[in-house]
Amino acid sequence: MSTLHDHAATIMRRSDELAAFTTVEGQITRPYGTSALLDARDQLAAWMGEADMSTHVDNVGNLFGRYEADTQSIDPKTFLVGGHFDSVVDAGRYDGTLGILTGIAVVQHLNETGRRFPFAIEVAAFADEEGNRFHTSFLGSSPVAGLWDPAWVTLEDDAGTPLKEAIRALGGDPEAIGSDTIDSGSVLGFIEVHIEQGPVLQDRNLPVAAVSSITGSLRATIEFAGMAGHAGTVPMALRRDALAGAAELVLAVEAVGASETDLVATVGTLECSPGASNVIPGHAHLTLDLRHPDSTIRERAYAGVRAQAEAIAERRSLDLDWTDSPSFAETVCDARLTKTLREAIAGEGIEPLSLFSGAGHDAITMANICPVTMLFVRCRDGISHNPAESIDEVDVEAALRVLERFLFAVAGQR
């Protein structure tokens, strides 16, 4: 029988094993709908099986491992514990996967010690949270939470591959996704263990903290079209340089982000074509990600960026194509569950801090069907969305202890 101390070591090892599932050698790049994602899912399913969970996959490609309730409970409800196993481009190894691996570890520990609750535990492994490939948010958890938009099946990635094809590559039926919503009456709650992705826990010398609320975000894909031409012969005054227009917008976005406390705004991708040193760029394509916990401020800032894009296009005689991407609203974690989580943290002798999350998480969508909370785990220097992401095994052990104690407390309340 393994202790939670042993399970923390297993999680560190499994995080390394999952990191090997990538579409780009030498990186961790695991977008939705790829064979790397499928292989990672098979590995997760195998580990769930070892923890005595039955597994199933839904149409968008999420994997669920179910650990049944005790035999005395008739028609038991479910408590969901989870995370995501897609990644950003050149990612770290803990963002998302930690929530799945901690869920599996706690279930395995419960199984090894012969304990079950009056509710089933399902470990949810979401197939897409980052949304990099199709410029979405929470593609995996949206159908689960009843927030699937049927119009999304017409989305294409930057290479023109339809989302439908990516769904089928994971074995799903695009037309059936809308029917995968979990009945909200059957779910008691959702918790995700996630790296903090910020420096506060390191500063405070604490291993874990509860999450009080999660920011909201607005996103767009933006295209400037001008006129490609000869870099040596077209006079500067006659140019319609799409990249120069995009560059102006990048700086405008930075200024908007810096204009207000808690506002952040990022251009994370910028591409120009045709892309040659002696050709004036005829097209420029960029993405905007803008976040603030207050929707009024967020929407005002977003409208401000759009107005600046229009003004740049007008002044430079460029055509502007602005497309709103799926966005997400700010979400407050459930007060009762989060109190229970803080008590579990204190029960482990750790100061029970609550943190705000500037990153988006599946708890945002899951809040549509059940109470949600999150446990943040300290990460080195707050670095995330970067291969240098790093956590300590002792902090993972603390997270496992808190998570198990939390589930016992939820069971005790029933």
Residues that bind Mn ion (CB under 5 A): 95-96
C-alpha–C-alpha distance, residues 272 and 98, integer Å: 36
Nearer to ligand GLV, 102 or 327 (CB): 327
Nearer to Mn ion, 116 or 133 (CB): 133
Give the nearest distance from C-beta 328 to ligand GLV in angstroms.
Answer: 9
C-alpha–C-alpha distance, residues 272 and 24, integer Å: 22
Give the nearest distance from C-beta 81 to ligand GLV in angstroms.
Answer: 19
C-alpha–C-alpha distance, residues 55 and 277, integer Å: 52
Give the nearest distance from C-beta 359 to ligand GLV in angstroms.
Answer: 4
- With b for 16 or more beta-carbon neighbours within 10 A and e for fewer, the 45-70 pattern comes to bebbeebebebebbbbbbbbbbbbbe
C-alpha–C-alpha distance, residues 45 and 7, integer Å: 17
* Contact partner at residue 83 from Mn ion, ligand GLV, none, CB < 5 to 8 Å by partner kind: none
Give the nearest distance from C-beta 91 to ligand GLV in angstroms.
Answer: 9
* Contact partner at residue 362 from Mn ion, ligand GLV, none, CB < 5 to 8 Å by partner kind: none
CA-based end-to-end distance of the chain? 28
Nearer to ligand GLV, 354 or 386 (CB): 386
Nearer to ligand GLV, 188 or 377 (CB): 377
C-alpha–C-alpha distance, residues 414 and 412, integer Å: 5
Binding site for ligand GLV (CB under 6 A): 130, 359-360
Give the nearest distance from C-beta 165 to ligand GLV in angstroms.
Answer: 24
Nearer to ligand GLV, 130 or 192 (CB): 130
- With b for 16 or more beta-carbon neighbours within 10 A and e for fewer, the 260-298 pattern comes to eeebbbebeeeebeeeeeeebbbbbbbbbbbbbbeeeeb
**Among 152, 289, 124, which Cα is nearest to 216's?**
289
Give the nearest distance from C-beta 196 to ligand GLV in angstroms.
Answer: 12
Both tokens of 113, joined, read 């010690």
* Contact partner at residue 172 from Mn ion, ligand GLV, none, CB < 5 to 8 Å by partner kind: none
Both tokens of 123, joined, read 């470990």
* Contact partner at residue 58 from Mn ion, ligand GLV, none, CB < 5 to 8 Å by partner kind: none
Give the nearest distance from C-beta 376 to ligand GLV in angstroms.
Answer: 13
* Contact partner at residue 360 from ligand GLV, Mn ion, none, CB < 5 to 8 Å by partner kind: ligand GLV
Nearer to ligand GLV, 130 or 397 (CB): 130
Nearer to ligand GLV, 48 or 359 (CB): 359
Nearer to ligand GLV, 359 or 399 (CB): 359
Q: How many C-beta neighbours within 10 Å does residue 366 have?
A: 28
371 and 336 Cβ atoms separated by less than 8 Å: yes
Give the nearest distance from C-beta 84 to ligand GLV in angstroms.
Answer: 9
* Contact partner at residue 61 from Mn ion, ligand GLV, none, CB < 5 to 8 Å by partner kind: none
What is each CA distance from 294 to 27, 138, 214, 260, 360, in whole angstroms?
35, 20, 11, 11, 14
Axis-axis angle for helices 393-412, 4-19 (nearest 10): 120
* Contact partner at residue 122 from ligand GLV, Mn ion, none, CB < 5 to 8 Å by partner kind: none
